[in-house]
Chains A and B, each alone.
Chain A
């Protein structure tokens, strides 16, 4: 068998590497999760004995913040699977609780739409510019004499009542559409969008991105396909420096994107079908949004995130 470098790499990527990585992932799946998530060793030993895929995993208890905001009997904490990110095979590591005021709120479509409208609108610049009679090229001469011709009196052929004349009060120059939505409309829009994603089963939670086994984009596509995730995936982590493998694998795929928590927005969540959050990202998002829901200095916040007044801009048409 004549092995070229290409065929070797293909073979390696498809079979050998996968099997090797699978065994490797199985080997350190037990120790790895403990360090990152903070599960006690006793729970891990219990979960090691039973089959990892079909068994009911041990319940991972998170201490939810701001429990005074909801009643557990009416709006119970939402529960989600914690999945692995280190192999093709899907393993449910745990069940985690999510705050009902962040992930289980009423999915207000009006707030989502407002946020989407703002995000698409505020960067637009209207470049439309019509020439006035002063800016038109052509003769400034009186077209015919005032009296004696029997025709209407006119002073210039560039006057606005003339065809091909100048425009009076037309659109003038670059006009900014920049504005800001109210701060708490944006906060509630994020909450509404996260809740909608969770209700549609489009929100997946994984332990870490550190142990993603390959830097091959084909492997990532296969991975996403096997998990049953939507073709477009947005992967969100707490830090903005991502691990090498996942960064390289997703580099050439336009519909699989990485984003840190501070960049999470409504438009991107709508753009991608599946939203994948790491556990660290979930905790960061929850704590940040709950802080916004409970903070007391509204006046300062509202004034701080207002758009500056840049003068009156007349409406075009």
Chain B
């Protein structure tokens, strides 16, 4: 069956190694005071605390009209305790340039176009926009706003992709378009279809100024836009 615990067994917690009981000191009973005594103690403690707390700190005597504090005025005596400052920007404002180039900026500068090609293949934006009925503005970081959009991709759980896939999964999206979106769509799609010799689906969103192509053509689109002069 199962063993029952002996309720009369003395627990070994209070026993020493010899088996004798450990001597436990009894605490004295809590002191009892009368009402007047309690009031007196309470009042006395409060008064004591108050005297400690509200003890005025000795004031620091700082007379600005006397030494050494009279140096703070512009017309006061100069004993060499303060560092001397010379304002140069009033005399030579061109020096501020050297400070400004060290400061952190939020806005990325407009890169200038040169004949040299960069090793990454980056093409800076043009000075004048191309003479076309549409315009694609650069992003904040002066890149072309062409993005690859993957539909139904679960970034949080990459293993849990949807089992049934409907329609195309990868798109190329162009943003920040002004002007004739349809013309841009016709030109770009014609070029892409000729290159890849297949039909390409596309959709225009005039509300947002975006163009979406079915398929991954990011590098093709970027190269085409650079050739157009954007």
Contact = CB atoms under 8 A, between A and B. Distances in A.
B107 interface: yes
Contacts of A291: 106-107
Nearest to B107: A294
B133 A74 contact: yes
Contacts of B108: 296
Contacts of A31: none
A147 interface: no
B38 interface: no
A70 interface: yes
Per DSSP, chain A at the interface is loop
Contacts of A298: 140
Given A108-B207, A291-B107, A68 B140 contact: no
Nearest to B110: A68
A294 B137 CA distance: 12
Contacts of B131: 73
B228 to A, nearest CB: 12
Q: Interface SS of chain B: helix, strand, loop or mixed?
A: loop
Contact of B135 (A70, A108, A293, A296): A70
B106 A74 contact: no
Given A68-B110, A74-B178, A75-B178, A295 B140 contact: yes
Contact of A297 (B106, B110, B138, B178): B106
A106 B135 contact: no
Interface in A274-317: 291, 293-298
B134 interface: yes
A296 B135 CA distance: 22
Contact of B141 (A75, A108, A293, A296): A296
Given A106-B207, A295-B140, A74 B135 contact: yes
A194 B13 CA distance: 80
Nearest to B140: A296
B207 A68 contact: no
Chain B interface size band reads 10 to 19
Contact of B137 (A69, A73, A296): A69
Interface string A51-78: 0000000000000000011111111000
Interface residues of A, number: 17
B76 interface: no
B68 interface: no
A75 B179 CA distance: 7
B110 A296 contact: no
B129 interface: yes
A53 B93 CA distance: 44
B44 to A, nearest CB: 43
B129 A71 contact: yes
Interface string B191-230: 0000000000000000101000000000000000000000
Interface string A74-98: 1100000000000000000000000
B185 to A, nearest CB: 16
Interface string B105-135: 0111010000000000000010001010111
B179 A74 contact: yes
Contacts of B207: 106, 108
Nearest to A67: B129
Given A68-B138, A106-B207, A106-B209, A295 B107 contact: yes
6 contacts: A69-B137, A72-B129, A74-B133, A75-B179, A294-B107, A296-B141
Interface of B: 106-108, 110, 125, 129, 131, 133-135, 137-138, 140-141, 178-179, 207, 209
5 shortest A-B CB distances, which residue pairs?
A71-B135, A74-B179, A71-B129, A295-B106, A297-B106
